[in-house]
Amino acid sequence: MGVAGKAGNLRGEKIAGGNIFEGPRSHEYPVPPHKNSHLMTMFRETALSLGYHPYPVPTATLSETYRNPDGIVRPGCAYCGYCTRYGCMISAKAQPTNTLLPLLERRKTFSLRPHCWARRIVHRDGRATGIQYTDAKGEEVLQPARVVILTSFTLNNNRLLLLSRIGQPYDPASGQGTLGKNLTHQVGVGTRLFFDQPLNAFMGAGGLGMGIDDFDGDHGADPGAGPLRGGTIRVSSGGAAPVSSFGHLPPGETRAEWGSAWKQAALRAYDRAGELMMEGEHLSYRENCFDLDPTYTDKFGDPLLRLTLDWTDHERQQAALATRVEQKIGQAMGATIGGPLRGVGRRYSVTYYQSTHIQGGVIMGVSPETSVVNPWLQHWQAPNLFVIGGSAFPQNASGNPTLTILALAYRAADALVDRYLKRPGPLA
Catalytic residues: 357
- 8 Å CB contact between 412 and 386: yes
Using only C-alpha atoms, the chain has a radius of gyration, in whole angstroms, of: 23
Query: Which stretch of DSSP H or E encloses residue 117?
Result: strand 117-124
Task: Decide: 92 and 74 in contact? Cβ < 8 Å.
Answer: yes
| Cα–Cα dist 303/291, whole Å | 10
Helix, strand, coil percentages in the chain from 3-state DSSP, rounded to 5: 20, 25, 55
Q: Are 354 and 342 in contact (CB under 8 A)?
A: yes
331 — phi, psi (to 5°)? -65, -40
In angstroms, the CA 409 to CA 268 distance is: 47
Cα–Cα distance measured from residue 206 to residue 215, given in angstroms and rounded to the nearest whole number: 23
Non-local (6+) Cβ contacts of 138 within 8 A are none
Helix (H, G, I), strand (E, B) or coil at 417: helix
Q: Is 17 exposed, middle or buried (0-12, 13-18, 19+ CB in 10 A)?
A: middle
Cα 299 from chain centre: 28
Contacts for 9 with CB less than 8 Å, ≥ 6 apart = 15, 18, 19, 20, 22, 23, 24, 25
Residue 68: other Cβ atoms inside 10 A = 14
